[in-house]
Structure 1
Amino acid sequence: MRLSNGTTVEAGTSVGGKALRLAVLVAVGLSITACNSLFSKNEDEYAVIEEEPAEVLYNEGLILVNSGAMREAAEKFDEVERIHPYSEWARKSLIMSAYTNYESERYSDAITSARRYVTLYPGSEDAAYAQFLIAESYYNQIADVGRDQARSEKAAVAYRELIEKYPESEYAVEARGKLELARDQLAGKEMQIGRYYLNKHQYLAAINRFKTVVSDYQTTRHIEEALHRLTEAYYSLGLVSEAQTSAAILGHNYPDSPWYKDSYALLSSGGYEPEVNEGSWLSKLFRTSTGSL
């Protein structure tokens, strides 16, 4: 990854499996004495408090990055922005703060810095990378489907925003792949809850969960089971026509699926076969999304 600065400094860490090349402006021949002065009153006398120049603090942060001290580096970059908020060094430090916080797994701080960067500098060459860090920070905190999936949703939103705003960036391809993984996680959660309701014979509640998967997550690996579970739930409610339709769509799109074999066997046990009801919401949905059943 190349930031929009000058000379490159190699960092020994990576984001998203990519080796990062942190492009940073290394000040040559820094004048340590060229610093601002603040005044504080102490016992009726004014003492001069010297303030380190922004570029000195920034380069101290770079030294910490190259030594692997990411937490300390993040603090140094935050100090640049705090003391010199209107300087060009503040902009550079903000993206570096996001990066170093991410590398030290302080994801909340990384998200905060990266989001501020995108808000303040949306047209910057590094804005896509900042958006990528937001998405990655959420993605790395995704829990298994047995737990709350709020971070999966936030990761999906962040990846989608990256793809929409920066479609030609070097991060867009990876974002598309991870967006699908986050969506798969969300679909998995819906399936887990749906199965719970199905086992409790709360068929309408189960149908609502499986319907969400079929409507919103058709490209995930859960679609086949979701169609079969709809067949089960509808059949249990006596809504045979809907059960036949979900089974027929499952068989048409995934004829070799073991879930279709289960659906077919279930209908056959009652003397029915998969058959599309043209008035079903399922047939309308698949005709709209795929152009055919």
Structure 2
Amino acid sequence: MINKIKLRDIIIGSALVALVGCASGPTDSDTDLILKNRGAEGLYEDAKEKMKLGNFNAASEVLSALDSRFPFGPLSHQVQLDLIYSYYKTGKTQESLATIDRFVRLNPNHSDVDYAMYMRGLTNMEVDNNIFQELVGIDRSDRDPSNSREAFNDFRRLIEKYPNSKYAADAQKRMLFIKSRLAKYEIAIARFYMRREAYVAAANRGRYVIENYFDTNHVQEALEIMVECYDQLDLDELKNNAMKTLKLNYPNSSFIS
């Protein structure tokens, strides 16, 4: 009898432990619960409300789940476009770029493909921004501008393919800003070379700015660098040509005496 009672207690105890284990185990996330209880339209309305409130992180979770569960539904295209924006707003640049590339690849004739291309440029620009450095006033124009170049190409492709897009004008302005950023990078590298007396490399950087970023406000600096470098290299003809151009366009330059 005693053994039977003990066996019964063990069985009951094991069952209780199992129940407690189930109760204390992993639970569904809020997004999972919502997905189980609401359809695509209800979920999308929920995501839009989150976006309206500025809660883009929560919105991206719902939109991502929607995109996974209903990839070919009537809302799929708008879900992907909103997901792109939500990723962008939360700094999830890789996710944003991947979603953009997928959308453009699968929907080349969609009416909003120009928006997706525009967002690609914005996303790449955002990668190149360093908010902390801007806040503390640190000039890091010498940092790698590869994402700025990528953004420039994104905006260029948008303008070439959709010149009448409502995003084309802003894309053009951003291209000018990026060119200034790229020119400033070349100037920073040229000055780096000058400090190390690598005057040929520095002069070449200055000439690159003249040839490729002539519509930025860094042309004067580029010409001054070229004058100084050619002077150090005793290349009088090249120095005089650069000085002539400097005098003609920037007569107030301190290099003119």
TMscore range, shorter length: 0.7 to 0.9
In the alignment, which of 128, 131, 154 is matched to residue 117 of structure 2? Answer: 131
Amino acid at match of 1:151: N
Indicate whether 1:241 and 2:255 are aligned. no
Alpha-carbon distance change, 200 to 68 in structure 1, aligned in 2, over 3 angstroms: closer
C-alpha deviation, 1:52, in angstroms: 5.1
For 1:184, the equivalent position in structure 2 comes to: 180
Amino acid at match of 1:66: K
For 2:212, the equivalent position in structure 1 comes to: 216
For 1:107, the equivalent position in structure 2 comes to: 93
Indicate whether 1:227 and 2:223 are aligned. yes
For 2:105, the equivalent position in structure 1 comes to: 119
Alpha-carbon distance change, 211 to 255 in structure 1, aligned in 2, over 3 angstroms: closer
1:206-237 per-position Cα deviation (integer Å, ceiling 9, x unaligned): 12211211111111111111012111111211
Which stretches in structure 1 are left out of the alignment for 5+ residues?
1-49, 266-293
For 2:167, the equivalent position in structure 1 comes to: 171
Residues 150-169 of structure 1: pairs in structure 2 closer than 5 A: 150-169=146-165
For 1:46, the equivalent position in structure 2 comes to: none
C-alpha deviation, 1:122, in angstroms: 2.5
Alpha-carbon distance change, 244 to 94 in structure 1, aligned in 2, over 3 angstroms: same
Tell me the number of residue pairs that the alignment of Structure 1 and Structure 2 aligns: 213
Higher Cα radius of gyration: 2
Query: In 2, Cα distance between the equivalents of 1:107 and 1:180?
Result: 22
Alpha-carbon distance change, 137 to 239 in structure 1, aligned in 2, over 3 angstroms: same
Contact in 2 for aligned 1:99/1:110 (Cα 8 Å): yes
Moved segments of 4+, more than 4 Å = none
Query: In 2, Cα distance between the equivalents of 1:79 and 1:93?
Result: 10
Contact in 1 for aligned 2:142/2:189 (Cα 8 Å): no
C-alpha deviation, 1:54, in angstroms: 2.8
Query: In 1, Cα distance between the equivalents of 2:83 and 2:229?
Result: 51
Normalising by structure 1, report the TM-score.
Answer: 0.67
Alpha-carbon RMSD across the aligned residues, in angstroms, is: 2.0
- Structure number with the bigger relative contact order (C-alpha 8 A, sep ≥ 6) is 2
For 2:246, the equivalent position in structure 1 comes to: 250
For 2:30, the equivalent position in structure 1 comes to: none
Residues 24-173 of structure 1: pairs in structure 2 closer than 5 A: 53-143=39-129, 144-173=140-169
Alpha-carbon distance change, 74 to 240 in structure 1, aligned in 2, over 3 angstroms: same
Query: In 2, Cα distance between the equivalents of 1:56 and 1:115?
Result: 27
Contact in 1 for aligned 2:220/2:250 (Cα 8 Å): no
Contact in 1 for aligned 2:148/2:182 (Cα 8 Å): yes
Amino acid at match of 1:256: P
Amino acid at match of 2:186: E
Structure with higher helix content? 2
Contact in 1 for aligned 2:100/2:117 (Cα 8 Å): yes
Amino acid at match of 1:70: F
Query: In 1, Cα distance between the equivalents of 2:142 and 2:201?
Result: 18
Contact in 2 for aligned 1:81/1:89 (Cα 8 Å): no
Contact in 2 for aligned 1:77/1:94 (Cα 8 Å): yes
C-alpha deviation, 1:182, in angstroms: 0.9
Identity of aligned residues (%): 26
Query: In 2, Cα distance between the equivalents of 1:257 and 1:168?
Result: 41
Normalising by structure 2, report the TM-score.
Answer: 0.76
Q: Secondary structure at the match of 2:71?
A: coil
1:227-279 per-position Cα deviation (integer Å, ceiling 9, x unaligned): 12111111211110011011112222x14342xx41x33xxxxxxxxxxxxxx
